[in-house]
Amino acid sequence: MKGTLETIRIAKGYSQSEMARKLEIPTSTYYVYETGKRKVPMDIAEKVSKILGEDINDIFLPATFTVSKTKTNHTA
């Protein structure tokens, strides 16, 4: 299942506080990871993947970019 950490967590039926408890971290720390305000350390990412039963790459997707369909005029 691909999606954000939040959507996958909710789909699996966990609250933020339950995830924090399972990860042995404060709920406030889990919150900043989930909202992207802080980078998730690899050891925590691996634990999250195991708890949620999902591939680490499906949870922690690389940044995506939007390509504009507008053409630019490069003539002088």
Tens of pLDDT, residue by residue over 13-58, are 999 999 999 999 999 999 999 988 888 999 999 999 999 999 998 8
CB 14 within 8 Å of CB 23: no
Residue 65 pLDDT exceeds 60: no
Domain around 11: 5-55
DSSP letters along 44-74, please? Answer: HHHHHHHHHTS-HHHHSPPP--PPP-PPP--
Amino acid sitting at position 43 = D
* DSSP element (H, E) containing 27: helix 27-34
Domain annotation covers residue 45: yes
Domain count for the chain: 1
Domain annotation covers residue 73: no
pTM for this prediction: 0.77
Dihedral of alpha carbons 59, 6, 62, 41, sign: negative
